[in-house]
Amino acid sequence: MCELSCHGGALVTEKVLKTVLSAGARLAEPGEFTKRAFINGKMLLDEAEAVGEIIEADSERCLEAAAGNLESGVGKRLSGAKATINEIIARFFAVIDWPDEEIEEEERPALLEKLEKCEKLFSDAISGAAAGRIIKEGLSVVIAGAANAGKSTLMNAIADSERSIVTSVPGTTRDVVSETVSLRGLKIRLSDTAGLRESGDEIEKIGVFKAVSALKKADLILFAADSNDLGMETAEAAKTVAAAGKPFIAVFTKTDLSGFEDKDVPSALAALGLPKDLPSVALSAVTGENMAALADKTVAFAGVSEEKGPVIMSERQYGCLKEADEAVKRAIELIKQCEMPDKTVAELTAAVGALSRLDGTKADEEILKTIFDKFCVGK
């Protein structure tokens, strides 16, 4: 490898490049440098994927998680578990190969304990994958509620821009208005929707239909309820929001007008027919009061811990982990039932196979191609 420095400017660079290419050099392929590092054993496959995650990162949290995955990825963290499973396979092979050998009754608990520890590591990593998806793709937060509840004002205050039109006329927002924002470094895909109410207006009806569809796809709903008006319409909207079956936070809006306080929350929830332990915030998007509390609750909901560790952001890694976890669970059952050792060996071998695909010690060309083709040239 050699590095050339030349004068700036497109033409000079192009001429130097042409000369170098005509002398026999070739352009690097996408992700070629990372791929070479992987092939030469300088990094595991999940770490190579972390390089891609770093390049693609579009929020602080995502960048942090990707950098953590590069430094100490899931492959490295699970290498001990993989070694343990391999040792247990060897122990079972001894039993299969030597008819006099068998797994003694007193040996069983120790084997089970080791496998259960491995399984715990896998299932912990799997349960962290939900947070990984949110870190990478962003948390989908939908603001919904009755007409004039202050939804668009809330949207604009969170997004810190005049994204949605705000008027005192009920039914102003008709389409779903979306914006990507960052809250405490976490990417949030925020959507404002039309007020949930029966309407004779053709366009508004479509807006309400779209709002209800958006609710069903949300990770989290912010149910905006005007603290000055906790009547029938608000209660009806609460019902529609609850029916979507998604987690939601009750946001009592316009406290600057109503004087509504945190202590008023329980009776307000009861008036709307909502559970008394529902996460709630009373705020004013106009004065900014309690907006920080809403940000805290929203980010806390994402379940993204500050703890450094592998964050599974790749569907491929998730699939491998699932496979390893399920195979080990089956092996545990087989050992408990004193089943034939060859069945247990088959499950444990499947688990090691999945872990080897995860860290790339056993990866076929097809998988490498899909991973590295996503990289840009020069990485």
Ligand X SMILES: Nc1nc2c(ncn2[C@@H]2O[C@H](COP(=O)(O)OP(=O)(O)O)[C@@H](O)[C@H]2O)c(=O)[nH]1
Residues that bind ligand X (CB under 6 A): 147-153, 166-168, 172-173, 195, 253-254, 256-257, 284-286
Rounded Cα–Cα distance for residues 281 and 290 (Å)? 7
Rounded to a whole number of angstroms, the minimum distance from the CB of residue 140 to ligand X is 19
- For Mg ion, the binding residues in 34-93 under the rule CB under 5 A are none
152 lies in the binding site for Mg ion (CB under 5 A)? yes
3-state DSSP of 262-294: HHHHHHHHHHCCCCCCCCEEECCCCCCCCHHHH
Rounded Cα–Cα distance for residues 30 and 51 (Å)? 13
Instruction: Tell me whether residue 234 or residue 317 sits nearer to ligand X (CB atom).
Output: 234
Closest by Cα among 159, 131, 132, 130 to 143: 159
110 within 8 A of 91, measured Cβ to Cβ:
no
Rounded Cα–Cα distance for residues 138 and 59 (Å)? 9
199 lies in the binding site for Mg ion (CB under 5 A)? no
Residue 332 binding: pick among ligand X, Mg ion, none (C-beta 5-8 Å cut-off by kind): none
Instruction: Tell me whether residue 34 or residue 148 sits nearer to Mg ion (CB atom).
Output: 148
- Span of 165-173, 176-184, 205-213, 277-285 interacting with Mg ion by CB under 5 A: 165-173
CA distances from residue 149 to 146, 171, 230 in whole angstroms, order as listed: 6, 10, 10
Rounded to a whole number of angstroms, the minimum distance from the CB of residue 234 to ligand X is 11
Among 69, 140, 156, 173, binds Mg ion (CB under 5 A): 173
Helix/strand/coil for 225: strand
Handedness of CA 68, 72, 76, 81 (dihedral sign): negative
Instruction: Tell me whether residue 125 or residue 251 sits nearer to Mg ion (CB atom).
Output: 251
Cα 7-8-14 angle, rounded to 5 deg:
90
Rounded to a whole number of angstroms, the minimum distance from the CB of residue 259 to ligand X is 12
148 lies in the binding site for Mg ion (CB under 5 A)? no
Residue 246: CB partners within 8 Å, gap ≥ 6? 215, 216, 218, 219, 220, 221
Rounded to a whole number of angstroms, the minimum distance from the CB of residue 160 to Mg ion is 17
Rounded Cα–Cα distance for residues 53 and 315 (Å)? 12
Rounded to a whole number of angstroms, the minimum distance from the CB of residue 61 to ligand X is 28
Instruction: Tell me whether residue 82 or residue 151 sits nearer to ligand X (CB atom).
Output: 151
253 lies in the binding site for Mg ion (CB under 5 A)? no
DSSP assignment of 137-156: H-EEEEEEESTTSSHHHHHH
Instruction: Tell me whether residue 257 or residue 300 sits nearer to Mg ion (CB atom).
Output: 257
Terminus-to-terminus CA distance in the chain, angstroms?
A: 15
Instruction: Tell me whether residue 11 or residue 169 sits nearer to Mg ion (CB atom).
Output: 169
Instruction: Tell me whether residue 81 or residue 155 sits nearer to ligand X (CB atom).
Output: 155
Residue 227 binding: pick among Mg ion, ligand X, none (C-beta 5-8 Å cut-off by kind): none
Q: In what order do the strands lie in the sheet with 139-145?
A: 177-183, 186-192, 139-145, 220-226, 248-253, 280-282
Backbone angles phi, psi at 274, to 5 degrees: -105, 155
Residue 286 binding: pick among Mg ion, ligand X, none (C-beta 5-8 Å cut-off by kind): ligand X
Rounded to a whole number of angstroms, the minimum distance from the CB of residue 241 to Mg ion is 15
Rounded to a whole number of angstroms, the minimum distance from the CB of residue 186 to ligand X is 24
Residue 256 binding: pick among Mg ion, ligand X, none (C-beta 5-8 Å cut-off by kind): ligand X
- Span of 173-181, 278-286, 300-308, 335-343 interacting with Mg ion by CB under 5 A: 173-181
Rounded to a whole number of angstroms, the minimum distance from the CB of residue 179 to Mg ion is 13
Residue 153 binding: pick among Mg ion, ligand X, none (C-beta 5-8 Å cut-off by kind): ligand X
Rounded to a whole number of angstroms, the minimum distance from the CB of residue 226 to ligand X is 8
By CB under 5 A, name the binding residues for Mg ion: 151-152, 172-173
